[in-house]
A and B are shown apart, each in its own frame.
Chain A
Amino acid sequence: MSGPTQVFIVCSPRAHTGKTLVARLIAEFYQSIHRPPACFDLEQIDPALTEFLPLATERAAIGETRGQVALFDRLVVADQKPKIVDLSPHALEKFFTVAYDIGFDHEARERGVSAVVMYVAGEQPLVQTTYGILRDKLPGLIFVPVYNDAVARSPELRKLFPANPNSPTPIEIPQLSSSLRRIIDQRPFSFLEFLKDPPLRMARSTRAEMESFVRRVFRQLHEMELSLLMSQLNQSLEAQLNAAAKRAGGK
């Protein structure tokens, strides 16, 4: 059996929710386990992901069919390379409309690609409504709510963003102190580079905070990776059992 291929679509219908931060963390997590990802930046005005991860990211536009072909045709390739889409709020509706029209969720499943929507939760009604619509229209996608403590921390929020029964556990992004926040927002900051070679003048406590932040997020992403792998194995096993039952029935 070939290895898994995951596609992460990081999105929110609202700006300034930490969406690009989530995309960066996922990208660097895969870099840390020696599975370099391909990232796609759909932000037209401020392509932050491209500036943070210039070697791993290419800019994409889906306004025209040519751009849709360039992006979606790569997203469904089961090449074992993780793919991360940083989806700007402006491109969200178009992206999911195209995905719905062309049957992206179905095709991804058929090809053994786990397509995961990393949905940054928020308290605004628009964010909740959009989540419901997407889950309803694209049931073949895996939805993982992301709770970014810097943006919304209400415990009540958890109830408003239900995950699919077999989906990975929601991801929590802990809040960083403002000094660290300033550091990670400087382009092209890299979490892995920081951990490998922390600034000498930095206070120990600040370094410890960063290490703890990255460890905590990466642990969750690692669990998500395992959960996706398990569900893919289950699907594959189920398909084999069904095929065997069909063959036995045909005899």
Chain B
Amino acid sequence: MAKPAVIIVGADKGGVGKTTVSRTLLDYFAARRVASRAFDTETPRGTLKRFHPDITQIVDLNEVPDQMKIFDTLNDAQITVIDVRAGLLSPTLRALRDIGFIEAAKKNQVNLAVFHILGPTIASLDEIGETSSFLTDAKYFLVKNFINNTHFFEWDQKTYDSYFHKVKNAVELTIPKLNEMASEQVELAGVPFLTFVANKGLHGESAAYSFVLRGYVRHWLGQVWSEYDRIKLPELIGDAEGKAAIAV
């Protein structure tokens, strides 16, 4: 059996689109028929759980029983996505180091990837250095997320480069902006992006979403997934060729 993989999605700032990225990841693996599960650390109410209720549990990463719930059961799914609450990325990585999980990743017993969602501030860049210190052997992805209207071009490129190049083996990826009205409609529908594209409700019933908005979501999701293909995400689960995805 392939090694289980854990993807941690986090940032030290709120409202940068962590949960949206987590949702695209769950859709990406669902389309490839890869068994996935997710943990939402926004206790007591989880946004991720609202969109993927069947495979998501809400946990408190500060609590040992919840840490056990995640890391003692890794073989329950090929992919475990953890949507880390704002401000908890560095403490989470510290906890993972303390329980020996990062060491296990170093020894190749599990695969670990971190999606660090960047905000448009220098403070956000400062986090890169701190986070990367935990991740010498994990896959570290720096995600420039345009979905929440963040203006990365306002950054001074030199400053950005100086931070980015401090981190060895970090890979940069870009999540484009989703049409605002389409984004709102998916929020209202409360379904995974893939389900919205397929014009279905949460329980598989037919829905009546706008064709235009579904088209925008399909196009955007295709762009996001091509970024995931570019960074060879399927390799995380030992799928070098990548299973054929269900067409978006």
**A103 near B182 (CB under 8 angstroms)?**
no
**A73 near B212 (CB under 8 angstroms)?**
yes
Q: Residues 199-240 of chain B: 1 if any A CB is under 8 Å from the residue's CB, otherwise 0?
A: 000000000001111111011000000000000000000000
Given contacts A69-B212, A69-B213, A73-B210, contact A103 B181 (CB under 8 A): no
- Contact partners of A68 in chain B: CB under 8 A: 212
**Total A-B Cβ pairs within 8 A:** 37
Q: How far is the CA of A65 from the CA of B179 in the complex (A)?
A: 8
Q: Does B76 contact A (CB under 8 A)?
A: no
**A69 near B181 (CB under 8 angstroms)?**
yes
Q: Residues 47-68 of chain A: 1 if any B CB is under 8 Å from the residue's CB, otherwise 0?
A: 0000000000000000001101
Q: Nearest B residue to A102 by beta-carbon distance?
A: B215
- Contact partners of B213 in chain A: CB under 8 A: 65, 69
**A76 near B211 (CB under 8 angstroms)?**
yes
Number of interface residues of B (CB under 8 A): 13
Q: Nearest B residue to A62 by beta-carbon distance?
A: B212
**B219 near A103 (CB under 8 angstroms)?**
yes
- Contact partners of B180 in chain A: CB under 8 A: 65
- Contact partners of A66 in chain B: CB under 8 A: 181
Q: Nearest A residue to B213 by beta-carbon distance?
A: A69
- Contact partners of A107 in chain B: CB under 8 A: 211, 215
Q: Does A72 contact B (CB under 8 A)?
A: yes
Q: Does A101 contact B (CB under 8 A)?
A: yes
Q: Residues 70-114 of chain B: 1 if any A CB is under 8 Å from the residue's CB, otherwise 0?
A: 000000000000000000000000000000000000000000000
Q: Does A104 contact B (CB under 8 A)?
A: yes
**B215 near A103 (CB under 8 angstroms)?**
yes
Q: Give residues 85-123 of A contacting B (CB, 8 Å).
A: 98, 101-104, 107
**B218 near A102 (CB under 8 angstroms)?**
yes
Q: Is chain A's interface secondary structure helix, strand, loop, or mixed overall?
A: helix
- Contact partners of B212 in chain A: CB under 8 A: 65, 68-69, 72-73, 98, 102
A94 CB to closest chain B CB (Å) equals 13
Given contacts A69-B210, A73-B210, contact A104 B215 (CB under 8 A): yes
- Point out the residue from B210, B211, B216 that lies within 8 Å of A101, measured CB to CB: B216
- Contact partners of B214 in chain A: CB under 8 A: 102
Q: Residues 168-186 of chain B: 1 if any A CB is under 8 Å from the residue's CB, otherwise 0?
A: 0000000000011110000
- Contact partners of B179 in chain A: CB under 8 A: 65
Q: How far is the CA of A68 from the CA of B213 in the complex (A)?
A: 9
Q: Give residues 179-199 of B contacting A (CB, 8 Å).
A: 179-182
Q: Nearest B residue to A98 by beta-carbon distance?
A: B212
- Contact partners of B216 in chain A: CB under 8 A: 65, 101-102
Q: Nearest A residue to B219 by beta-carbon distance?
A: A101
Q: How far is the CA of A101 from the CA of B211 in the complex (A)?
A: 11
Q: Which of B214, B215, B216, B218 has the most CB of A within 10 A?
A: B215
Given contacts A101-B219, A102-B216, A102-B219, contact A73 B211 (CB under 8 A): yes
- Contact partners of B182 in chain A: CB under 8 A: 65
**A72 near B219 (CB under 8 angstroms)?**
no
Q: Nearest B residue to A66 by beta-carbon distance?
A: B181
Q: How far is the CA of A76 from the CA of B214 in the complex (A)?
A: 13
B217 CB to closest chain A CB (Å) equals 9
A23 CB to closest chain B CB (Å) equals 22
Q: Residues 145-169 of chain A: 1 if any B CB is under 8 Å from the residue's CB, otherwise 0?
A: 0000000000000000000000000
- Contact partners of A65 in chain B: CB under 8 A: 179-182, 212-213, 216
- Contact partners of B215 in chain A: CB under 8 A: 72, 101-104, 107
B207 CB to closest chain A CB (Å) equals 13
A107 CB to closest chain B CB (Å) equals 6
Given known contacts A102-B211, A102-B218, what 18 new A-B pairs fall within 8 Å (CB)?
Answer: A65-B179, A65-B181, A65-B182, A65-B212, A69-B181, A69-B210, A69-B212, A69-B213, A72-B212, A73-B211, A73-B212, A101-B215, A101-B216, A102-B214, A102-B219, A103-B215, A103-B219, A107-B211
Interface CB pairs A-B, < 8 A, 22:
A65-B179, A65-B181, A65-B182, A65-B216, A69-B181, A69-B210, A69-B212, A69-B213, A72-B211, A72-B212, A72-B215, A73-B211, A73-B212, A76-B211, A98-B212, A101-B216, A101-B219, A102-B212, A102-B218, A103-B215, A103-B218, A107-B211
Give 7 closest A-B pairs by Cβ, nearest first. Answer: A102-B215, A65-B181, A69-B212, A72-B212, A101-B219, A69-B210, A68-B212
